[in-house]
Structure 1
Amino acid sequence: MTPAEASTDRRTLLAQIARPQPWDLAVVGGGATGLGVALLAARRGLRVVLVEADDFASGTSSRSTKLVHGGVRYLAQGRVALVRQALHERKRLMQAAPHLVQPLPFVVPAHRAWDNGLHRLGLGVYDWLAGADSLGRTEWLSNQALHQAVPGFSDDLHNGGIRYWDAQFDDARFALALARSAVAHGAVLLNHCPAVRLLRDAGRVRGLVCRDAELGVTHTLRARCVVNATGVWSDAVRGDGDGRGAATVLLSRGAHLVVPQAGLLNDHAVLLPQTADGRVLFAVPWLGHVLLGTTDTPHPAPARDPLPSAAEVAFILTEINRYTRRPLQPTDVRSLWAGLRPLALAAGAPHGASPTLSREHRVHVAADGLISVVGGKWTTFRVMAVDALAGVALQLGCPPWVGQDAELPRLAGAPEVGDALPAPLHRPPDGLGLGRDAAAVQQLPGADRVLGLGLSEARVRFAVRHEFARTVADVLARRARVLMLDAACAERLVPRVAAILREEGVPDPQPAHALLLSRQQLALTRASQSVLT
């Protein structure tokens, strides 16, 4: 699929939604699930429109731990079906976008000699559940092999460990590949175009009203069916539909820090199965850096750009420093962010502690016909989309999405089968994630002018012309991952990126928002120093 086949010119897309045509399906929300719904529906030939209030994957879907995995910790909770499903979905994502989803070995260090036996037993079940989709054999590591795999970890770990296999990915770029693929199959997608309200007629949802955030123009989109795929905002979008006032999601915050990779990890990730408060901590090599993260801190309400607290930063550093040769300090943190997870609540369920809630998803079909999909996780987004489309099929009177209709195609930018393997995602970001688009980027002005962290002027132009980018934050946080890797570097690049966006015809690239994000991140790392000391 070439960029020309997946035109994302905003004027063209706005002209399409301005025409008074009925749509078969309108999707609200441009995260993983909404994009999956739009792609699979468009492949079936439905007239599909999707609107996103901010940017595609600007919320939960770009703030993950960058793992496509079954979820080892869910085995301990007895969620065997969820783990098995996710392990098989993992293979599907790798096949759809091998330049963005790749195998990654994990190490689980052993504190005590008998830990290896316990870990080997649990991870053996993990392998068994994967079956033919297993990515590698679980094996015991000697002390020497452990320290070769994770050279920055302390010599005090004398009991070796276990190595198993999962996968990592670039979440925001995978979402963009979904978006471009949906457009290539005929869907109309608009970011920075919030849904203002739902249209109701005779007690049924019949479309929505949206507003182009750039021009301030509103558009009425009449549709036979509407899917609410807004994640943490799902209950707000449901509005006065069926079950008003009944919450369907409980929010959980995952905190993530980024530190330099040098001397800490090579090409292995680390899973620390139990922190001081019983949570799981990951250390993942990603784009030339190391991502440290944990999940399941209750969060009160949806937020646009959530950040960890200074206490969370200090907690993560304290936990990882129990294992490292050289203690990490807040000054080592290059970037940080938080992601909100919408955990699905069963009807009438109490709002318990988030670690006890499943990452399984639920589809709610309201009395007015609005279909809302909540919960779930990145790895199972395709299953979530298919389940949401089951409700669409009933409303439209069309066959359900089964067989090939429910499978992901090869996504935009993916190399052809048999092409050379893409560069590993744990390496520095020098053109990573572009796949077959790399050649097209090299043909644009500024291909030889690198701004920082592998981001060239040509890459910025490509983001505007072929990847829906409309703001500085769109480019620095999601098309390239500069803001997620190094906040100070992102701040330095804001003026030049904004200038290129204006050259490409973007009227208001909003540099102030990207500056605010980077400065908040830098201030938070400084604040965490006082917590540690």
Structure 2
Amino acid sequence: MPSLRESLLSPSARSEHIDRLKAATAENPLDVLVVGGGVNGAGAAFDAATRGLSVGVVEAADWASGTSSKSSKLMHGGLRYLQMLDFKLVAEALRERDLLIERTAPHLVHPIKFVFPFFKKVVDRAFIGSGVMLYDAMQMVGRKRAVPMHRHLLHDKMLEVFPGLDGEKIVGALEYYDAQMDDARFVMMLVRSAAQYGAAAANYTRVLDYLHEGEQVTGVRVRDEESGEEFDIHARTTILAGGVWTGEQQDLAGADAGLEVLASKGVHISVAKDRIPAAPDTGVITQTEKSVLFLIPWDEYWVIGTTDTPWEQDVDDVSATGKDIDYIIEHANAVLKSDLTREDVIGVYSGLRPLLQPVKKSGGSSTKVSREHTVMQVEPGLSAIAGGKFTTYRVMAEDVVDFAIKDVFPGRRSLTTSVPIIGAQGYQELVRDKSAIAARYGFDAVRMDRLLFRYGALLTDVLALIDEDSELGTPLAHAPRYLRAEIVYAARAEGVRHLADVIERRTRLDYETSDRGVDAAEEIAQILAAELDWDEARAQAEVSAYSAHIAARLEGETTASDEAAAAAVAAAPGTPAGSAGR
């Protein structure tokens, strides 16, 4: 088993990884180079590394700083796709969800219960019930169930399970199970898993050009955004996992052909947990005229979303509008007993779904585009992948690596159905002993569960920091959900380079607190300064940049159009690295 030490994404490890990327010359190239550090890129790097190939993965900003940190935080089969008759995608996603829960990532992916309200007693119970019955049946084909079967709830039982629903409008419901995860942390753990198996991983490393030998792509030229140094990375085959930046990267490569990707904006809001009464770990899914809306329990608050609207502005400047927020509130209120208002909104986040566009066209609804993925040779030596959904990232990674290496390394099979993501091994033992661990460190049950969900078996490394310095066991003054040790660990092991990396992705303070993490920024910056060798001027610049970025997002949330919201974000002075821009 590879050493856990190899997985550390510390400042010194980043320097060593960059040296290894520089050493990938034309005479001694990498076997596989992955461009893009979202879930697809991280998954491809992990897949290729576990096959015993020499691998590099580069990302222009922070790991998961694009779409992969802006999802609904669900690993689900996609119940809505049954209505689109996309049975293959649903069955595939359900298999992958169960694999994660049972074998490869039980620490990162947990079952969650949803209630699907009925407004028409007979029609809804028959139509929705038959759909969920099929959904459950797809999970039973040839394998053990990872989550319980669905059940129907009569009116009174529904209100017992979810008293926050409007019992005057809603006549009954159906209860079924899916799974949830922390998307940004999941991606970071994938990157660490790839590094554990020997991949050289460098965030804040921007591709400037694609290297060619005749028509063959032989690697990339990059710039280390931290030092400004430019260098070449040679590879036998290159994989582009660029998400909504796919077109931009294909143009940079000078490709004559390529994948068309449609950007669709998805917005979520968060509200306090006590604002919507419900049984523990129980959410709501309801249909809207365009898509579905989820009310998802998450720690001490609810995540509610999402929207699904075409985005025609610069993909670097995505922002929610006031119209988006009002849309979500309106549709949540359609099922809730007590209406939400704008004053209930704690946080907002927005991202762009990279939906594969089979035929280039203008206009139309992005909700009609299939989520199935496609792999394509953009140029000889350069393969691109687009489409799919977060839940099927492993299948996508396997497919694109199979495709990319078929001529250079035929017969190297994927192992990721059996190789766990870092933090899985030893996780169940920590769960067994969690009461004793909590008592030792003075944690309540809520904090203990949070820590296990964030770190899995790697929690022992975080606790070791507290053993060395008890002050690190102290919660942050303005963000008490998190310990000072977690910020130190983020800097030493999780690839953090900037303040925004911690506030927006290693923690989720940008939508967990009404100040969007600004009040905690100073304390976090001072902890990072000691770990990342920042002087006081650098620490204050990071705080100022993050504060300006949040102010721009808040301004965007008062606008009525995507154009105005994007302009507000684009105009922010000193936008923090990793928050926007490629």
Note whether the superposition's TM-score is higher than 0.5.
yes
Listed as ranges, the matches of 1:384-395 within 5 Å are 384-395=396-407
> Shift of the alpha carbon at 1:420?
5.1
Residue 123 (structure 1) aligns with? 132
2:283 to 269, 276, 280: 269
Q: Does the 8 Å CA contact 1:483/1:490 hold for their aligned counterparts?
A: yes
Residue 98 (structure 1) aligns with? 106
Residue 484 (structure 1) aligns with? 511
Q: Does the 8 Å CA contact 1:127/1:134 hold for their aligned counterparts?
A: no
115-124 or 500-509, which deviates more:
500-509
Q: How far apart in 1 are the matches of 2:170 and 2:490?
A: 48
Q: How far apart in 1 are the matches of 2:290 and 2:518?
A: 36
464-473 or 516-525, which deviates more:
516-525
Alignment pair present for 1:375 and 2:387? yes
Listed as ranges, the matches of 1:28-43 within 5 Å are 28-43=35-50
Residue 531 (structure 1) aligns with? none
Residue 338 (structure 2) aligns with? 326
- Cα distance per residue 1:243-301 (max 9 Å; x no partner): 5476611111111001111141332110012x2x3321110001221011024211114
Q: Does the 8 Å CA contact 2:321/2:559 hold for their aligned counterparts?
A: no
Q: How far apart in 1 are the matches of 2:3 and 2:480?
A: 25
Equivalent position amino acid for 2:492 in 1: R
RMSD between aligned residues: 2.3
> Shift of the alpha carbon at 1:169?
0.8
> Shift of the alpha carbon at 1:349?
6.3
Equivalent position amino acid for 2:92 in 1: Q
Residue 159 (structure 2) aligns with? 147
Equivalent position amino acid for 2:14 in 1: R
Q: How far apart in 2 are the matches of 1:418 and 1:36?
A: 24
- Cα distance per residue 1:315-368 (max 9 Å; x no partner): 111111122222111121111111111111225567631111111111110233
CA shift in 2, pair 1:167/1:37, >3 Å: same
User: 3-state SS of the aligned residue for 2:205?
Assistant: coil
Residue 420 (structure 2) aligns with? 410
Q: How far apart in 2 are the matches of 1:498 and 1:304?
A: 25
Structure 1, unpaired ranges of 5+? 529-533
Residue 210 (structure 1) aligns with? 222
User: 3-state SS of the aligned residue for 1:433?
Assistant: helix
Q: Does the 8 Å CA contact 1:487/1:518 hold for their aligned counterparts?
A: no
Structure 2, unpaired ranges of 5+? 435-444, 561-582
Alignment pair present for 1:23 and 2:30? yes
Q: Does the 8 Å CA contact 1:250/1:354 hold for their aligned counterparts?
A: yes
CA shift in 2, pair 1:306/1:197, >3 Å: same
Residue 550 (structure 2) aligns with? 518
Q: Does the 8 Å CA contact 1:261/1:289 hold for their aligned counterparts?
A: yes
Q: How far apart in 2 are the matches of 1:367 and 1:16?
A: 25
CA shift in 2, pair 1:243/1:195, >3 Å: closer
Alignment pair present for 1:470 and 2:478? no
Q: Does the 8 Å CA contact 2:270/2:346 hold for their aligned counterparts?
A: yes
Q: How far apart in 2 are the matches of 1:337 and 1:390?
A: 35
CA shift in 2, pair 1:261/1:517, >3 Å: farther
User: 3-state SS of the aligned residue for 2:517?
Assistant: helix
- Cα distance per residue 1:7-64 (max 9 Å; x no partner): 2222222232233442111110001111111111111111111100011111111110
Q: How far apart in 2 are the matches of 1:308 and 1:244?
A: 34
User: 3-state SS of the aligned residue for 2:139?
Assistant: helix
Listed as ranges, the matches of 1:309-388 within 5 Å are 309-346=321-358, 352-388=364-400
Q: Does the 8 Å CA contact 2:261/2:354 hold for their aligned counterparts?
A: yes
Residue 496 (structure 1) aligns with? 523
Count of matched residue pairs:
522
226-235 or 243-252, which deviates more:
243-252
Report % sequence identity: 31
219-228 or 20-29, which deviates more:
20-29
User: 3-state SS of the aligned residue for 2:92?
Assistant: helix
Q: How far apart in 2 are the matches of 1:113 and 1:280?
A: 20
CA shift in 2, pair 1:378/1:427, >3 Å: farther
Q: How far apart in 2 are the matches of 1:387 and 1:302?
A: 30
Alignment pair present for 1:459 and 2:474? no
User: 3-state SS of the aligned residue for 1:281?
Assistant: strand
User: 3-state SS of the aligned residue for 1:434?
Assistant: helix
Q: How far apart in 2 are the matches of 1:466 and 1:144?
A: 49
CA shift in 2, pair 1:241/1:524, >3 Å: closer
Normalised to the residue count of structure 2, the TM-score between the two structures is 0.85
Q: How far apart in 1 are the matches of 2:194 and 2:259?
A: 31
User: 3-state SS of the aligned residue for 1:300?
Assistant: coil
Q: How far apart in 2 are the matches of 1:489 and 1:339?
A: 16
More helix by share: 2
- Cα distance per residue 1:61-106 (max 9 Å; x no partner): 1110011111111000110111000000101222222121011111
2:17 to 7, 13, 17: 13
Residue 396 (structure 1) aligns with? 408
Q: Does the 8 Å CA contact 1:87/1:129 hold for their aligned counterparts?
A: yes
> Shift of the alpha carbon at 1:118?
1.6
Q: Does the 8 Å CA contact 1:233/1:302 hold for their aligned counterparts?
A: no
Residue 81 (structure 1) aligns with? 88
Listed as ranges, the matches of 1:89-238 within 5 Å are 89-94=96-101, 95-114=103-122, 115-131=124-140, 132=143, 133=145, 135-238=147-250
Normalised to the residue count of structure 1, the TM-score between the two structures is 0.92
Listed as ranges, the matches of 1:64-79 within 5 Å are 64-79=71-86
Q: How far apart in 1 are the matches of 2:427 and 2:519?
A: 39
CA shift in 2, pair 1:232/1:51, >3 Å: same
Equivalent position amino acid for 2:355 in 1: L
Equivalent position amino acid for 2:49 in 1: A
CA shift in 2, pair 1:24/1:454, >3 Å: same
